[in-house]
């Protein structure tokens, strides 16, 4: 239970940091904070402890490939930010992320067997 509380506290701290940075002169750094491997570190510790080093390697490799859906998301936000409302822009970008992530998962399951 303590581990779950610490994970929740860590997540809340990240959200607070993003909020503070978004109001500063260096607001663009708020886009870097989510890329700090906070949750990746947690996932990697858990995978390594439960599945071992080889599973950790595969998880890291999948993590590298997972940058592709995120790149699609960011590209769509960049392209659409001045063309439509924030909600439509982020909604379409999120939909693109979902499609790219689903494609990645599907492809990973086919090629990693």
Reported as a single tens digit per residue, the pLDDT across 6-64 is 888 988 988 999 999 999 998 999 988 888 887 888 899 999 999 999 999 999 999 99
Helix axes 67-80, 53-65, angle to 10 degrees: 20
pTM over 0.85: no
Say what the alpha-carbon torsion angle 65, 42, 33, 82 is, to the nearest 10 degrees: 50
How long is the chain?
Answer: 113
Q: Which pLDDT value is given to residue 66? A: 94
* 3-state DSSP assignment of residue 96: helix
| 55 close to 47: Cβ distance less than 8 angstroms | yes
Three-state secondary structure call for residue 75: helix
pLDDT at residue 6, rounded to an integer: 86
């Amino acid at each position: 239970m303590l581990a779950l509380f610490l994970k929740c506290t860590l997540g809340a701290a990240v959200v607070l940091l993003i909020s503070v940075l978004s109001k500063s002169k260096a607001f663009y750094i708020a886009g870097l904070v989510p890329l700090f491997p906070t949750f990746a570190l947690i996932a990697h510790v858990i995978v390594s402890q439960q599945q071992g080093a080889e599973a950790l390697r595969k998880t890291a490799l999948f993590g590298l490939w997972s940058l592709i859906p995120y790149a699609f998301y960011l590209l769509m936000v960049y392209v659409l930010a001045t063309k439509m409302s924030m909600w439509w822009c982020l909604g379409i970008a999120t939909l693109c992320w979902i499609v790219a992530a689903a494609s990645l998962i599907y492809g990973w399951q086919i090629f990693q067997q």
